[in-house]
Structure 1
């Protein structure tokens, strides 16, 4: 059933561009505000994650009803909610349009979707490109693959847990202690799915060159964004130092690299969807 839920969610995202129709976080903001008076980061974090218990109870109670159809529908809604925010493809296209025109300030503004730290600016075009490339790899991972991995492996409660930790880690009202704990939780949630997605990078890219790097990086204690960017950059043609000195050549090659990264993400995701289909069959 999980695989059919993934297919429905994938079709919905293709139609809407995102899961935005069910991705209102107003309830989460209200919950966070109601917990401000509670002392201690650990109790606040645990209470913020309390909706997981409610979801688990509802799914358990609805499981036997109407052959599990109500529970299945709720699972699809939870999966859609747990997917990443915003339209990844449109945001990348807006960035590339500005980049290809040589409008680096416009590209920086659009690039904030992939790396919010770009609000403080990048020293040069190369740093801007590298920051956005890193953000493209990570957002392609967290918005879909990490969520679907946990949904398929352990069910909707784990997919929702991943998204709530992600929101807590990046919520402006979160205290530093809460952010640190949420990021630590994300590290463990992302460790295995990031390595599996990286393996698909190695298969789809130049295997002889990428597989040794995958094997080396996969045992390193790297955050998922650094891990995916270092491995992904190895599997792409890349931009040479000489090209970075030539504005026109650099703009074109950097644009080609990001489009190649998008294509590699799409092929890697389809690769693992195929694996899920085989697991479901056998």
Structure 2
């Protein structure tokens, strides 16, 4: 776990201190070519064109990753394995920088540029919504897919887990994959399985760093624990709304109007700024928890 924490911090540093290097590293064109090759090889009625076809797409690259992970775990007292951990995690993180995408929305000079920037937070083909609550949900969905899910599966299974999640997410990305209908349906179901525990843990962390009552309220909604639930998005909306209301109420006591209070505290697009701040707080909380496990000696 100590090595995993070092790898996470190093991958984060690479993304922020060398963004061009990170962007150049995070290329998955080979996976798109692999999916196209499978499409060309298997006819209608084959296993590839069924709901479990995604397993064929993942099996070969993940087998190679697993063998490499085992082979590099021991040499030089694990140092080679640590370098592998850093490289694979930095590769699977993102692939776009969430901070830069959110900043591009806030700093956009006009409504058209703002909508174009916001489109980077939505999956390809999904309509872009510019209202505050929708942007909050988009930030947290992006944080889940770019940060937390990769981190969770990396901590659980090492580089194999990080690559497992990233390739599974790419398989449902219409910009990367053009899968047969049944294969795409199976890929979406598989991705939902991978994301479910992560969404619950992020929601729990949101309750700790945000508004506890609003998050618990979202968890109590019917079907909140279902596989395809949007509990994280609902909890994020409620938490951001409560946080802004509390900040505005504090400033209003000094005589400021609500509109002026929002401008004083958050500037433009307050929901977006607060959502990004909450996402960072959750990430710091996760890293602190990992560090405490290492210090306490509960895990190796």
TM-score, normalised by the number of residues in structure 2? 0.79
Shift of residue 118 of structure 1?
A: 7.0
- Classify the secondary structure of the residue corresponding to 1:112: helix
- Classify the secondary structure of the residue corresponding to 2:145: helix
Q: Which residue of 2 aligns with 1:47?
A: 56
Alignment map for 1:54-93 (pairs within 5 Å): 54-93=64-103
- Is 1:144 matched up with 2:147? yes
Compared CA separation, residues 222 and 62, structure 1 to 2 (3 A):
closer
Q: Distance in 2 between matches of 1:104 and 1:261?
A: 20
Query: Of 105, 118, 129, which aligns to 1:95?
Result: 105
Q: Which residue of 2 aligns with 1:163?
A: 166
> What's the C-alpha RMSD, in Å, of the aligned pairs?
2.7
Q: Distance in 2 between matches of 1:256 and 1:262?
A: 10
**Structure 1, 47-56 or 168-177: larger mean CA deviation:** 168-177
Q: Distance in 2 between matches of 1:53 and 1:119?
A: 33
Shift of residue 222 of structure 1?
A: 5.5
Q: Distance in 2 between matches of 1:120 and 1:10?
A: 30
- Is 1:112 matched up with 2:119? yes
Q: Which residue of 1 aligns with 2:179?
A: 174
**Structure 1, 129-138 or 185-194: larger mean CA deviation:** 129-138
Gaps of 5+ in 2: 246-258
- Runs of at least 4 residues of structure 1 off by over 3 A? 116-122, 214-219, 251-254
Q: Which residue of 2 aligns with 1:243?
A: none
Higher relative contact order, chain-length normalized (CA < 8 Å, sep 6+): 2
Shift of residue 133 of structure 1?
A: 2.4
What does the per-residue CA deviation read over 1:221-280, in whole Å, with 9 as the maximum and x for residues that have no partner? Answer: 1636x222100011112689xxxxxxx89x968701110000000001100110011112
**Structure 1, 214-223 or 11-20: larger mean CA deviation:** 214-223
